[in-house]
Amino acid sequence: MKLCFNQATTLENSNLAKDLEYCDKHGYDFIEIRTMDKLPEYLKEKSLDELAEFFNTHNIKPLALNALVFFNNRDEAGYKEIIDDFKEKMETAKRLGVKYVVAVPLVTEQKILKQDIKNSCVKVLEELSDIAQPYGVKIAVEFVGHPQCTVNTFGQVYDIVETVNRDNVGFVLDCFHFHAMGSNLEDLKKADGSKIFILHIDDTEDFPIGFLTDEDRVWPGCGAIDLDSILLTLKEIGFSEVVSVELFRPEYYKLDAEEVIKMAKETTIKVVSKYYDLQPV
């Protein structure tokens, strides 16, 4: 299994250039590039060509553009915005050699029927799949374990991805989101491991289902998530691709960015290496 760094982990104490330098130095295989903030910030002073050259001359490679945000159940203007954003991401992915675009479902206070959510997700994902096909890029849908997210459990996202039934449409399994809304391990045991494109590793403080927020995340292995059962199940269903550490901890943003990147790797390897072959620090 390959090791990846998600830039949310150093969201407030680093930038893309520094993350790339430190992650390459400390032996990460991949990075997920935040397109909401870190990439635009980088492009104020440098170019996509310079970024592509960095990847061409260093060991670390780009895994995903993170993210296409709130892709489903949009009005006409919002739908057009999503399609235009995705097309732009395809060009960026082509220039950088990116494998995936992470797609995040709508978060809203509005109550939407589950069938209407599914219908919208399937329709949009089929269109995105057609757009992505010539680029060789895959779409990784990330369900979000929060009551206000329209797709917030493993079972729900798996049903959507199965219905779409395209080779270039799968999903992100984030351990925090799996835990946060009480997703069922039995559903994971019955899943097709090839539909999981990226594993996000993290942990969390022990708050009740429905109350957890991203700020509650802690180093892998230092919280309440049953990571052992998740990892064992993933291995049993044939997943062995990429594990990406993603934390949003405010306390960690106060630390030196390089120290966070080192600690993220150390804690991830300690947890994951019980089930997968990862190079030690």
Concatenating the DSSP letter of every residue in 211-261 gives T--GGGEESTTSSSS-HHHHHHHHHHTT--SEEEE----HHHHTS-HHHHH
Return the SS3 of 127.
Answer: helix
Q: What is the pTM of this model?
A: 0.97
Give pLDDT, residue 279.
Answer: 59
Give pLDDT, residue 281.
Answer: 41
Give pLDDT, residue 267.
Answer: 98
| Contact status, residue 64 vs residue 100, Cβ threshold 8 Å | yes
Q: 186-197 b/e with 16+ CB inside 10 Å = b?
A: ebbeebebebbb
Neighbouring CB atoms inside 10 A of 172's CB total 26
Judging by beta carbons within 10 Å of its beta carbon (0-12, 13-18, 19+), is residue 26 exposed, middle or buried? middle
Give pLDDT, residue 280.
Answer: 45
Our measurement of the distance from residue 167's CA atom to the centroid of its chain's CA atoms, rounded to an integer in Å, reads: 18
Distance set, CA 40 to CA 9, 15, 17, 45 (Å): 18, 10, 12, 9
Whole-number Å distance between alpha carbons of 241 and 100: 13
Neighbouring CB atoms inside 10 A of 216's CB total 19
Residue ranges in the chain modelled with pLDDT below 70:
279-281
| Residues ≥6 apart with Cβ < 8 Å to 269 | 3, 278, 279, 280, 281
Give pLDDT, residue 278.
Answer: 81
Q: State pLDDT tens for residues 80-130.
A: 999 999 999 999 999 999 999 999 999 999 999 999 999 999 999 999 999
Distance set, CA 227 to CA 20, 118, 204, 234, 272 (Å): 27, 28, 11, 10, 9
The β-bridge partners of 140 are 102, 170
Give pLDDT, residue 164.
Answer: 98
- Give the closest residue to 35 by CA, choosing from 53, 49, 16, 50: 16
Helices 76-96 and 114-132: angle between axes, nearest 10 degrees: 40
